[in-house]
Amino acid sequence: MSWGYLEVPPFTSFVGWVATHLFGDGIFAVRIFSLIAGTLVLYLALKIIQLLGGQKWAIIIGAIAMMISPAYLRSTGFFMPVVFNILFWTSSCFFIVKLIRTQNRNYWYYLGIIGGIGLLNKYSILFYFSGLLLGFLISKERLHFKSKEPYLAILIGLLIAAPNLWWQFSHNFPIVHHMQELNETQLVNMNPGIFVVGQIVMLWLAFLIWIPGIYAFFGFKSLLPYKIFSVAYLVLITILLIGRGKDYYSLGAYPVLIAGGAIFWEKILKERATGKFVLIGTMILLSVPIIPYGIPILPIEQARTYMGKAAEIGFNSPLRWEDGEYYELPQDYADMHGWEEMVHKVAKLYHSFSEEEKASLLIEGGGYHHAGPINYYREKYDLPESYSFSANFILWIDENAKFDHMIIIDDWPNLDTSVFSNVVLIDSIENPYARDPGYIIYRSEPKVDLPALWNRLVKERRAWLE
């Protein structure tokens, strides 16, 4: 546990800590809080519809739009910062609606609390809050800034986020290093066309709701006081386009637009019951084929075949990975495979050594996706802690490790080294659905003082943190 990590603030890790201490480390523990967060997002979106004046049909339309969206289905089923980000953004919109509707300035304090906790989850909430701020400034709601509450709210948010901000400062702002690395390895593969297409595909037929929602906040007199949300969305999209952000970075902005769009259709189809059923039926029927992309309801082989046929007719957007290439499965699905197989094979090699040899052996993961699974399964397979120079593992690596041979797991079967005389490729992941090949390499017979070299490498890799 820490107040900060190289890629993300600490909120998700804290939730994971709570979940595993309450429910163990199985699938239920991994998914329960994401499910709760996703359920709260749906609840808040429907409450926003009610607060904005929506009636029964608006609530039904909004609920269906949320529940058929592949992005919300998927994010609710995964333990990642994304679903909590959506929750904090939607919560902010809920309290802004309450603020504007009641003019009770105490709601600013709730916004401050949500903003502070949101910063402890993902810094991208600042992008959305920038848009919300502009929305306030260009509307009559700017009068709020003549009172003390908005500034106290900002102070509250900063105080809540202060431990993480101090952690960033004391570690030489790792977020800057991470964003540079992210830009060079992943964001470089984004372009405006892919980003815009992603906005449609992520929520699929819900675009029939959220696009009219943008208009509704500008065009409907009853919703005009809430045009802040459409302004915030446009600002957010502009920022992400300029910064080459990933398409899912904008997910938190859509629930409130869906709320506006649901009211739009309720008003437009007020006396047209048939039109309402056609709209709802179209969304449901045309969303059924896309559900396997949102949640893994198909056996993996069937999913690969199904998605392959869809790709043949041009629907391959969900199969694009962060490296810009297209594969047989969505990246998130491929990430689910091969972990324990890799650890099992590492353990087989490790336990082939004598106890004396084990005591002088080090296991290194070429990436956090190698070291992480080994540490997760280490008790089951009686393995030592695995180290890595990747991501947060650089913070935890033992710079004084003593060893004279090692097992390395990496994405490439790199056998070239000037440090060891003996290098052998032992095995790799055989699961055809796994994202990474997980090459297992054994190195022995060092040519240099290995502990001294290791100590120097660790200090060099950590230098930018000091």
DSSP-assigned states of every residue in 244-303: T--GGGGGGGHHHHHHHHHHHHHHHTTT-HHHHHHHHHHHHHHHGGGHHHHS--S-HHHH
Mean pLDDT, the chain, as a whole number?
92
Q: Assess whether pLDDT exceeds 90 at residue 442.
A: yes
Q: Quote the percentage of the chain above a pLDDT of 70.
A: 98
- Biggest distance spanned by C-alpha atoms of the chain: 83
Residues 369-392 have a mean pLDDT of: 92
Give mean pLDDT, residues 205-227: 94
166: tokens are 């101090």
Flag whether pLDDT at 97 surpasses 80: yes
Report d(CA 231, CA 21) in Å as an integer. Answer: 42
Give the SS3 label for residue 220: coil
The SS3 call for residue 426 is: strand
Q: Is 379 exposed, middle or buried (0-12, 13-18, 19+ CB in 10 A)?
A: exposed
Q: Which of 107-111, 366-370, 386-390 has the highest mean pLDDT?
A: 107-111
User: Which of the residue ranges 46-50, 113-117, 243-247, 345-349 would you say has the lowest mean pLDDT?
Assistant: 243-247
Q: pLDDT value at position 191?
A: 80
Only one residue has tokens 């004279």, namely 404
- pLDDT of 403 over the 80 cut: yes
Q: Quick one: how far is CA 225 from the chain centroid? A: 32
Q: Which residues contact 354 (CB under 8 A, 6 or more apart)?
A: none
Of residues 281, 330, 270, 305, the one with CA closest to residue 75: 330
Residue that the structure tokens 């952000």 belong to: 245
Q: In this predicted structure, what is the pLDDT of residue 184?
A: 67
| 64-75: average pLDDT | 92
Q: What is the pLDDT of residue 464?
A: 78
| Whether the predicted pLDDT of 303 surpasses 80 | yes
Helix (H, G, I), strand (E, B) or coil at 142: helix
Determine phi and psi for 52, rounding to 5 degrees: -85, 0
Q: Assess contact for 203 and 194: CB atoms under 8 A.
A: no
Angle between helices 273-287 and 56-67 (to 10 degrees): 10
| Lowest mean pLDDT segment, chosen from 152-161, 188-197, 248-257, 325-334 | 188-197
| Whether the predicted pLDDT of 443 surpasses 70 | yes
How confident is the model over 16-68, as pLDDT tens digits?
A: 999 999 998 888 998 999 999 999 999 999 999 999 999 999 999 999 999 99
pLDDT in tens, 133-149: 999 999 999 999 999 99
pLDDT exceeds cutoff 90 at 314: no
- Minimal CA–CA distance to 257: which of 135, 121, 103, 117? 135
Q: Rounded to whole angstroms, what are the CA distances from 183 to 75, 243, 265?
A: 23, 9, 40
Mean pLDDT of 87-116: 96
User: What is the C-alpha separation between 429 and 413, in angstroms, rounded?
Assistant: 12
Beta carbons within 10 angstroms of residue 313's beta carbon: 7
| Distance from C-alpha of 367 to C-alpha of 96, rounded to nearest angstrom | 42
Residue 186 has what pLDDT?
66
Instruction: Determine the average pLDDT of the residues in 68-88.
Output: 92
Mean pLDDT of the 424-441 span: 92
Beta-carbon contacts of 140 under 8 Å, excluding residues fewer than 6 positions away, are: 225
The arithmetic mean of pLDDT across residues 263-288, rounded, is 92
For residue 185, pLDDT over 80 is answered with no
**How high is the pLDDT of residue 227?**
95
Helix or strand or coil: residue 409?
Answer: strand
| Cα 419 from Cα 425, distance rounded (Å) | 16
